[in-house]
Amino acid sequence: MKELESLKFSNQFATLPEELYHKQIWSPFENPKLIHFNNELATDLGFPKNQNPEDLVPYINGNKTIEGSAPLSMAYAGHQFGSWVPQLGDGRGILLGQLQTKGGLMDLHIKGAGKTPYSRFGDGRAVLRSTIREYICGEAMHHLGIPSSRSLIMIGSNEPVFRETTEFGAMMVRVAKTHIRFGHFEYLKHNNKSEFIPILLDHVIENYFPELKSSKDGYTDLFENIVNSTALLISKWQAFGFAHGVMNTDNMSVLGETFDFGPFGFLDDYDPGFICNHSDHQGRYAFNNQPSIGLWNCHALAAALKDHIEIERTKEIFKNTKIFKRGITNFWKKLGLKRKKGKF
């Protein structure tokens, strides 16, 4: 298709060792149909203004191949509700690759594409209800100024997907700066694949922090960036009353973006102990716990990277209060307050 061919598409992650992914094709729907196309996001990504979204459906459904793409499912692990799970991965998702845009590389990721080697007991499908919900929240977060993944296009079908009730299946193209998670590094560290950690660190620096390539301590600089962006992201969640609900380390982006929307929620009234995830019986991910859980997750990442980052400097990074003060500033702005110079 001429319109797609005009886009600069590749998959940088596919150049990494195959210990980090599995080459994957997805399971098409029999009769896919367009549900929604995000024209605003498409324009930002460089799609032609006259793009007919119906023409994209065969590519999203897996009937046709986008030139330059290299579909794969990513391998990672993580701490779920504080417990170590050594093997997770994209159980229903496929990374198509990256688009080169004016704002840098942007991942295009198919959600609901069918079973992968990481599906475990799942069917690899997404349902229309939750897909629409994720689309709405991603757009809300973006326009509130909160870093977040967004949805480019949704397709659906009459294919039944069995959850608590029978629902309609759907696929969605999720767009984010990266899908590299804390859990990628944990997977390598705790599964006797530590030799690949520097390769993945170099990949992140090369593609997202090129200014660190000449640094004498680039890996620690990168870690500091991850901690800072995570803290700033969560401070914005708190300011807008957003509860993520599943702050497992495999759901934490190394670029400080919100993704993997599951049982999220917003505060209607101020309830600091608000729990949006009915499976969170202990309230680990309650609204008021999010900052401390974010810190806990950063410590888990530090443990995975401990052989590659400077330990004493890492301790100082965790002591830094500057990001906390920036979080306080978000609350002040919400109240229309200003601060005196140098004071909070």
pLDDT by position in tens, the chain (length 344): 446 667 888 999 999 999 999 999 899 999 999 999 999 999 999 998 888 999 999 999 999 988 889 999 999 999 999 999 999 999 999 999 999 998 899 999 999 999 999 998 889 899 999 999 999 999 999 999 999 999 999 999 999 999 889 999 999 999 999 999 999 999 999 999 999 999 999 999 999 999 999 999 999 999 999 999 999 999 999 999 999 999 999 999 999 999 999 999 999 999 999 999 999 999 999 999 999 999 999 999 999 999 999 999 999 999 876 666 666 777 777 778 776 665 54
Please state the pTM of the whole predicted model. Answer: 0.94
Domain contains 342 = no
> Domain check: are 284 and 330 in the same one?
yes
Any residues with CB less than 8 A from the CB of 40 and at least 6 apart, and which? Answer: none
How many domains is the chain partitioned into structurally? 2
Query: Could you tell me if 143 and 198 lie in one domain?
Result: no
3-state secondary structure 76-141: CCEEECCEEECCCCCCCEEEEEEEEECCEEEEEEEECCCCCCCCCCCCCCEEHHHHHHHHHHHHHH
Do residues 11 and 117 share a domain? yes
In this predicted structure, what is the pLDDT of residue 330?
Answer: 77
Picking from 176, 210, 244, the residue at the C-terminal end of a domain is 176
Q: What is the end-to-end Cα distance of the chain in Å, rounded? A: 55
The verdict on 17 and 132 lying in the same domain is yes
Q: What is the pLDDT of residue 121?
A: 85
Same domain? 11 vs 113:
yes
Contact (Cβ atoms closer than 8 angstroms) between residue 22 and residue 91 = no
Give the Cα separation of 330 and 240 in Å (integer): 9
Beta strands at 104-111 and 78-80: parallel, antiparallel or unpaired? unpaired
Q: Is residue 270 in a domain?
A: yes
Q: Is residue 228 part of a domain?
A: yes
Residue 69's pLDDT is 92
Residue 330 three-state SS: helix
Of 90, 221, 250, 280, which is the active-site residue? 250
Q: Are residues 39 and 133 in the same domain?
A: yes
3-state secondary structure of 275: coil
The angle, 0 to 180 degrees and rounded to 10, between the axes of the packed helices 290-305 and 182-190 is 40
* Per-residue model confidence (pLDDT) at position 326: 67
Q: Which of 176, 193, 227 is the last residue before a domain boundary?
A: 176
341 within some domain: no
Would 343 be classed as within a structural domain?
Answer: no
Q: Answer yes or no: are the C-beta atoms of 310 and 218 closer than 8 Å.
A: no
* DSSP-assigned letters across all residues of 187-256: HHHHTT-GGGHHHHHHHHHHHH-GGGTT-TTHHHHHHHHHHHHHHHHHHHHHHHTEE-S---GGG-BTT-
Residues 26 and 145 in one domain: yes
Q: Which of 176, 200, 227 is the last residue of a domain?
A: 176
Same domain, 235 and 163: no
Catalytic, 280? Answer no
Asked whether residue 224 is assigned to any structural domain, the reply reads yes
Domain range holding 278? 182-335
What pLDDT does residue 2 have?
Answer: 44
172, 216: one domain: no
Q: What is the pLDDT of residue 320?
A: 79
Q: Residue 111 domain-assigned?
A: yes
User: Are 168 and 201 within one domain?
Assistant: no
Same-domain check for residues 158 and 229: no
> Residues 98, 106: contact at Cβ < 8 Å?
yes
In a domain, 217, yes or no: yes
Both 12 and 141 in one domain: the answer is yes
